[in-house]
Chains A and B, each alone.
Chain A
């Protein structure tokens, strides 16, 4: 749920984030279903301008709905920006690694 609702989530108030009309839309659908529909339609801000730095996915993380965030079917791989190549340096007992 958007944490900055100007009114309590009832009495036909409308969420400016997802457009849910509380007392009407959530009489027909569960909040989970409404959230899925909002995400399925692109998770766009509904009314006016969103708050500064608003991001729908971060809002879901912060609201403890991590499971609802799509992975966008991507694979994420971390690589070093620095390439490390083992280089043997014969300095007595030491073996050094150099970073290129």
Chain B
């Protein structure tokens, strides 16, 4: 079974020509500054800001010929699912690892609290591993009137 070596949420991932990844601005806490007129922001608000979830899987020799996929979920602080993504883990012959870059088109800002990102590995659509979730704290702060 492949082993999860890196699981991170960040602003951007740059992959160079050799396939080496650089993770830019790892997310830990997101502060949303709200002007008074933004108080009508709905709790399901997602702002148009791209970000990325990155995972790196290391293969075992005995994984040859087996089918694995990763399943990602981004959950609101109340636990409901906002985004669900499934990607096949494709093993390239001369590589001992596989990296998956999952771009997300918008960032959930409507509900303050802990956004969680859940990742599990499935073999033939049966869960075989679940990673410790990533938590991103979303804080709303009022922006002083100008």
Contacts and interface: CB of A to CB of B under 8 A. Distances in A.
A53 B26 CA distance: 26
B31 to A, nearest CB: 5
Q: Interface size for chain A: under 10, 10 to 19, 20 to 34, or 35 or more residues?
A: 20 to 34
Interface stretch (B55-63, B79-87, B93-101): B79-87
Given A55-B82, A77-B31, A61 B44 contact: no
Interface residues of B, number: 33
Interface stretch (A1-9, A11-19, A20-28, A64-72): A64-72
Interface string A77-97: 111111000000000000000
A47 to B, nearest CB: 18
The A interface is mostly helix, strand or loop, or mixed, namely loop
Q: Which 8 A-B pairs have the closest CB atoms?
A: A81-B28, A61-B105, A57-B46, A75-B33, A72-B41, A79-B29, A69-B48, A73-B38
19 contacts: A53-B83, A57-B45, A57-B46, A58-B106, A61-B46, A66-B105, A72-B109, A74-B41, A76-B33, A76-B109, A77-B30, A77-B33, A78-B11, A78-B25, A78-B27, A78-B30, A79-B28, A81-B137, A82-B28
